[in-house]
Amino acid sequence: MSYLERLDSYKEDMLAALSESVSKPSVNANAAMTEDGELLPFGKGVYDALIQMLSKGKELGFAVHNDENYAGHIEWKAPDTPASEYFGIVGHLDVVPVGGGWDSDPFVMRREGDFVYGRGVLDDKGPVVACLYAMKALKDEGLEPSMNIRLVLGCDEETGEISASHYTENQGHPKMGFTPDGNFPLVNGEMGIMVFDLAQKFKSRTSKDDLRLTKLEGGNAHNAVPAYSKAVIAGSKEQYGSIIERAKLYSEETGYKLKSKKQGSSLVIEAEGKAAHGAHPDKGLNAVSIMMDFLGNVSFASEELNDFISFYNEHIGFDLHGERLGCDFSDEQSGPLILNVGVAEINEDIAGVTVNIRYPVTYTDELVLSGIEQSIGEDRVGIVTRMVHYPIYKELNDPMVVKMMDAYREETGESSAEPMVIGGGTYAKMFDNILAFGAEFPGDEATMHQANEKLNIESFMKMARIYARAIRSLCCQ
């Protein structure tokens, strides 16, 4: 029996293990303490999922380690090898909140036809189980690893970086490896990510009788295209009537959805766009940009406010690649830079927008920032950097890329498949020397983070065989 035949024979055990994992409602929650005074950094549900998976790993004959409930690993130890030399398979056990629209209990895995349903079956509990049993098949076949192989179990990937930072600080980074939390055939590059605020403080004050923008808000996350924006204006009835007419005409001319209504003593303007991930703003429509475009036709008493609105429309507007912000960089590997304004907030004291940029793998954050600074010049708008994740990229002839691609092509028969560069970010940005490798197949329906999240059982077994082939090729004798 070959290791792949062994793996196929584990199918029902794998589904049972996945069902058990799904039953742990591992949505990140506030830190809690057990009766014995043990810290659960991400709440009891995530803790239960970690303990369950570590117990399964131990049951299958592997060594396990709990990294103070922040993370953990299941390890196939290599003989005479330092603990620090390990091949990392980095997954996560936390899941996004459930939300509505489910046809059954999301924490009871349902098997129907060719699919299993449940929160986490695809992101990322199913791929974690597939990797665990790929390790088991190779071990049961009598192979020996050339370095320690660890299935690392992250616990807050959906909400932050705490578990990854805690684990790498205590256990170090892998020598090489992959995260089964991306796309097949292989992600050999991830664009750099910059998040920054463009902000301006207002020094002058207006009177209560002036036309004022008392509040503007839009979006709630830098990495999402805002689907809604709201502006509250204070002024006279005559001014309101003029703005209402302009809003109606603007909607007719542009086709954008803009509504205006009196609310108490104020006028409320609402803009409706279309939500999308910040890595794909072309699939959405930014409601903040609609709002700012319209407000550019309104003359407020505050010249500083008018200047900020003009700045936005002149330097950002509906641009998706930083064309007018001085950072429209591009390279062959990644394509063009991606820009998204995710959050906007304006009051009578300050105006600011939060920008999420994904920049090409051959560029640096310094170059991007320099381009922006040169573009906006001595403008009163300031730049406040909030986060930078550096790009990662491995050449097509890198041994990791070659062997992972070989594993995918051999299993699927897709000889023309090529790796890709993405604008999103995975654990490959938090753990050195790893790449995102599956588990979503080309053409599969994307149900991650959605109601009725589902996993095709055939795809489940196929990903496990791909992972087994890759692990054997990269680090088994």
Q: How large is the average pLDDT for residues 10-30? A: 97
Written in H, E and C, the secondary structure of 49-83 is: HHHHHHHHHHHCCCEEEEECCCEEEEEECCCCCCC
Q: How large is the average pLDDT for residues 234-253? A: 95
Mean of the per-residue pLDDT values of the chain: 95
Q: pLDDT at residue 1 above 80?
A: no
Question: Rounded CA gap, 361 and 448, in Å?
Answer: 26
Residues of the chain within CATH 3.40.630.10 domain(s) are 3-190+392-475
In this structure, the number of other CB atoms found within 10 A of the CB of residue 295 comes to 26
> What values do phi and psi take at 258, rounded to 5?
-135, 130
Residues of the chain within CATH 3.30.70.360 domain(s) are 192-389
Question: Rounded CA gap, 442 and 11, in Å?
Answer: 22
Nearest CA-CA partner of 50 in 65, 39, 37, 36: 65
Q: How large is the average pLDDT for residues 346-358? A: 96
Cα dihedral 97, 103, 108, 110 sign: negative
Rg (CA), the chain: 26
Give the list of residues 6+ apart from residue 428 with CB closer than 8 angstroms, or none.
179, 182, 187, 190, 392, 434, 435, 436
Distance (Å) of CA 160 to CA 46, 64, 155, 409, 427: 14, 24, 9, 33, 11
Q: What is the pLDDT of residue 477?
A: 66
Q: How large is the average pLDDT for residues 308-327? A: 97
Q: pLDDT at residue 379 above 80?
A: no
| Cβ proximity of 390 and 190 under 8 Å | no
Q: What is the pLDDT of residue 263?
A: 93
Q: How many CA within 13 A on the CB side of residue 65?
A: 14
Two structure tokens written together for 286: 């930014």
Question: Rounded CA gap, 340 and 218, in Å?
Answer: 13
In this structure, the number of other CB atoms found within 10 A of the CB of residue 116 comes to 22
Q: In CATH, what class is 192-389?
A: alpha beta
Question: Rounded CA gap, 172 and 432, in Å?
Answer: 9
Write down how long the chain is. 477
Share of the chain above pLDDT 70, in %: 100
| Cβ proximity of 14 and 126 under 8 Å | no
Question: Rounded CA gap, 469 and 461, in Å?
Answer: 12
Question: Rounded CA gap, 290 and 281, in Å?
Answer: 14
**pLDDT, tens digit, for every residue of 417-462?**
999 999 988 999 999 999 999 999 999 988 888 899 999 999 999 9
Question: Rounded CA gap, 60 and 44, in Å?
Answer: 24
**pLDDT, tens digit, for every residue of 292-315?**
999 999 999 999 999 999 999 999
Q: What is the pLDDT of residue 64?
A: 98
Q: What's this model's pTM, rounded to 2 decimal places?
A: 0.88
Distance (Å) of CA 299 to CA 211, 259, 379: 8, 19, 20
3-state secondary structure of 260: strand
Question: Rounded CA gap, 83 and 70, in Å?
Answer: 19
Q: pLDDT at residue 331 above 80?
A: yes
Q: How large is the average pLDDT for residues 351-370? A: 97
Q: What is the pLDDT of residue 424?
A: 85
Give the list of residues 6+ apart from residue 407 with CB closer than 8 angstroms, or none.
466, 467, 469, 470, 473
CATH code for 3-190+392-475? 3.40.630.10
Is residue 205 very low, low, confident or very high in pLDDT (cuts 50, 70, 90)? confident
Torsion angle of C-alpha atoms 229, 234, 237, 238, degrees rounded to 10: -90
